[in-house]
Amino acid sequence: MTSTIEPTAALTGLAPVIDVRTRILILGSFPGAASLAAQQYYAHPRNALWPILSALTGEDLAGLPYAERLPRLLAQGFGLWDVLGACEREGSLDSAIRKPAANDFARLRHLCPLLETVGFNGQTSGKFAPAFAAAGYRTLVLPSTSPAHASLTLAQKLDQWRNLL
């Protein structure tokens, strides 16, 4: 009996949530399976990003429908994107990413002329911090909001995420 190993399908990430008001850009690594299925950033119900952004903005973004979160987030000067635009991966763990392809950040200054700070959601995306720092942005590598990274409490993560402001 022979077995065939199915190739892992290439995955494409989500479009950036940015505009000319973006002052703080949060870069994740690549959307997890729940986010890709929903076509929404940080869609996993246990991901801490939306509660953290709610605390940072003073608005209950986590309590809003996704379509209402994005304009409120942009109005507060925040943007969302990922360092990778495509990859192959089984499941949602960053450690399973294969054949990564970075997003094209060349037009970022033009699209977000007010951008000052880039926060990296976890160590995988944080590997891109030196390139953004070299381009003149203030960078922070922050604890991952993923439920897979449970070594810190939400309060401990929020304490570090406040450094974005």
Q: Where in the sequence numbering do the catalytic residues fall?
A: 47
**What dihedral do alpha carbons 128, 86, 145, 112 form, nearest 10°?**
60
Residues in Cβ contact with 31 at an 8 Å cutoff, skipping those fewer than 6 apart: 13, 14, 41, 43, 82
> How many Å apart are CA 162 and CA 165, to the nearest integer?
6
Provide long-range contacts, Cβ within 8 A and 24+ apart, for 130-133.
132/105
Handedness of CA 56, 51, 58, 69 (dihedral sign): positive
3 state DSSP class of 94:
helix
- The secondary structure element, H or E, covering residue 80 is strand 78-82
